[in-house]
C-alpha cells in the first residue's frame, strides 16, 4: 500500500518546502520493516474491513482467524488477540463517532490537495486578524 505524496505526518516539511516532495521521491528508499509493524498493518486491514462494512454477513473471526497473510515480506498468522484488538479499536471509533454525532462514515477517507491546505491556512490567518 503506497503512502500519500502529501502525507499528514510530513505536512510540516512539505508545507514549508513543496519541492521536498519531488526531491524525496528521487532518493532511493529502503524500508526495513519489522514483524510488529507488519502485524499492525494487518490489523489495520481488519479494522478497515469492519469500518467499511466489507465482511458481508461474516464475522471478523470467521474471515480472518488462523489465516496466514504475507505483509511486507513476513508471513503472519492471524490470532484471536489481533482480531480482538481490531474489534476493540472499531468499537472505540464508533463510540467517538456517536458522541460527535458525525454524519459521515468514520471510515471515509478524503484526498487533501496542497490547494486545500493553503485555503485552510488562509482562512485561519484571516480569523487571527479578526
pTM over 0.75: no
Q: Report d(CA 6, CA 42) in Å as an integer.
A: 23
Q: Report d(CA 119, CA 67) in Å as an integer.
A: 45
Query: From first to last of its 130 residues, what are the pLDDT tens digits of the chain?
Result: 455 667 777 788 888 888 888 888 787 766 678 899 899 999 999 999 999 989 888 999 999 999 999 998 899 999 999 999 999 999 998 888 887 765 555 555 667 777 777 666 655 444 444 4
Residue span of the structural domain in which 58 resides: 29-103
**Matching residue, cell 512539505:** 14
Residue of 46, 126, 37, 39 whose CA lies nearest to 89: 46
Does 2 reside within a domain?
no
Does 14 reside within a domain?
no
Encode pLDDT of 23-40 as tens digits: 887 877 666 788 998 999
Does 56 reside within a domain?
yes
Does 34 reside within a domain?
yes
Number of CB atoms found within 10 A of residue 49's CB = 19
Q: Which three cell numbers stand for residue 46?
A: 481488519
Within 13 A of 61's CA, how many CA atoms are on the CB side? 4
Amino acid at each position: 500500500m503506497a503512502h500519500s505524496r502529501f502525507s499528514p505526518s510530513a505536512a510540516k516539511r512539505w508545507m514549508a518546502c513543496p519541492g521536498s516532495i519531488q526531491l524525496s521521491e528521487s532518493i532511493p528508499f529502503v524500508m526495513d520493516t519489522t514483524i510488529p509493524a507488519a502485524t499492525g498493518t494487518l490489523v489495520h486491514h481488519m479494522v478497515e474491513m469492519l469500518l467499511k462494512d466489507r465482511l458481508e454477513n461474516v464475522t471478523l473471526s470467521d474471515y480472518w482467524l488462523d489465516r496466514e497473510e504475507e505483509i511486507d515480506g513476513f508471513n503472519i498468522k492471524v490470532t484471536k488477540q489481533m482480531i480482538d484488538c481490531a474489534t476493540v479499536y472499531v468499537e472505540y471509533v464508533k463510540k467517538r463517532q456517536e458522541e460527535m454525532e458525525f454524519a459521515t462514515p468514520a471510515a471515509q477517507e478524503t484526498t487533501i490537495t496542497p490547494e486545500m491546505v493553503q485555503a485552510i491556512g488562509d482562512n485561519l490567518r484571516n480569523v487571527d486578524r479578526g
